Structure formats: structure tokens, C-alpha cells
Amino acid sequence: MNILHKKYKGIKPVHDWYLSSPQIEEAVVSPFCTGDPEAQDYPREVIIESSTPRPDLTEAFHNSTVLRGARDFLRLNAQFNILPGATQSEKARRAILIKTNVCQYILVGALAVVVLFAIVAGIVVGVLVHSATLGVATSAGVIGIFTLVQGYLFGMKLLGQGKGH
């Protein structure tokens, strides 16, 4: 797991601030994927038929000392071993899936900050100009601008992923 963690850090050295820490899952990879799943050509599309969270592997991924006393780890997790010279079969394979999700607390916190900022900006403008209509319009405008910025950043991230970054 320590080697897997180092390889993951080599591929993805920067952890996005809005993502949770990586979680390890046992995934069943469809045999209908194109190419060799062990090939190092990225990005690679695979079909995941199902996945099951593995808290033991997640803990070992983040803390390599957990497995120091586990002599039977490879024998107990033999489903992940791909022997040299093995050819692609017509049955599904089991694989380790490293998964990150959006951290819900950060998402709710960021949304709350944006809404509060928009409300405060609307109140300040409304009081200074003595117009409730302009205050509401300012709040709506601030939220609209944040929405456009978010859409732009999301689109740039998708375009960056399409180029193999």
C-alpha cells in the first residue's frame, strides 16, 4: 500500500482543497474495457461494474505502519494480484479504486459564505442608496457573478482533464 500511495502522489501531487481524502474501494472492472488495464497510458476509461468501500485498505493507504504486522495481507487480498504474463480474460477483474469525493462540509461552508457575502453586499448597497430594489438587485448580481465564475472554473477543469492533465 505504501508503493501505491507513492505512485498516487506521483500522479496527483496536489490535493484539491474541496475534495475529501482518498478512499480505497474494491472495484469490479468490466472485461469490456479497451486495452490493457495495467498499461500506463492516461487518461484511461474503464467500466466499473460495482465497488465496495474497504476501510482497512483506506487506513493502510494513509498509514503504512498498519500493515507492518500483517504477514497474510497478500494472501488475504490475492484478488488484486495480476501475475506476469497474464492475458486479459473474458471475466471481470477486481481492482483497487482510489476515490475522492467532494467534502460536503466545505461545499456547504463555501455556499454559506457566498450567500452571506451577497446578502451583506445587498444590505450595504440598499442602505447607502436608500433603495431596497437596488439592494436586492445587488444581492442577485453578486450571486450571478459567483455562479459564472464557478461555471468558468468547472469548465476549465473539464477542458484540462480532456487534454490528459
pLDDT by residue (tens digit) across 80-114? Answer: 665 555 555 556 677 888 888 777 888 888 889 99
Q: 129 and 88 in one domain? A: no
Cell, residue 52:
465496495
What's the half-sphere exposure (Cβ side, CA atoms, 13 Å) at 134? 8
Q: 152 and 90 in one domain? A: no
Residues 41-58: b if buried by 16+ CB within 10 A, e if exposed: eeeeeeeeeeeeebebbb
Question: pLDDT digit string (tens) for 125-161?
Answer: 999 999 999 999 999 999 999 999 888 877 877 776 5
Q: Which of 56, 76, 99 is the last residue of a domain?
A: 99
Task: For residue 109, give the DSSP letter.
Answer: H
Binning pLDDT at 50, 70 and 90, where does residue 164 land? very low
Q: Which of 46, 76, 99 is the last residue of a domain?
A: 99
Q: 111 and 93 in one domain? A: no
Question: pLDDT digit string (tens) for 60-80?
Answer: 887 877 766 666 666 666 666
Q: 45 and 20 in one domain? A: yes
Rounded to whole angstroms, the Cα distance separating 124 from 88 reads: 65
Report the amino acid identity of residue 6.
Answer: K
Rounded to whole angstroms, the Cα distance separating 99 from 53 reads: 10
Q: 51 and 128 in one domain? A: no
The residue with cell 433603495 is: 131
As a whole number, mean pLDDT of residues 23-42 equals 73
Q: Which of 84, 99, 114 is the last residue of a domain?
A: 99
Q: What pLDDT is recorded for position 142?
A: 94
- Total number of domains constituting the chain: 2
Q: What pLDDT is recorded for position 115?
A: 92
Q: 94 and 16 in one domain? A: yes
Q: 153 and 94 in one domain? A: no
Range of the domain at 127: 104-162
Q: 64 and 14 in one domain? A: yes
Proportion of the chain above pLDDT 70, given as a percent: 68
Report the amino acid identity of residue 123.
Answer: I
Q: 77 and 139 in one domain? A: no
Apex 101 CA angle, 116 and 54, nearest 5: 145
Q: 32 and 83 in one domain? A: yes
Rounded to whole angstroms, the Cα distance separating 43 from 56 reads: 27
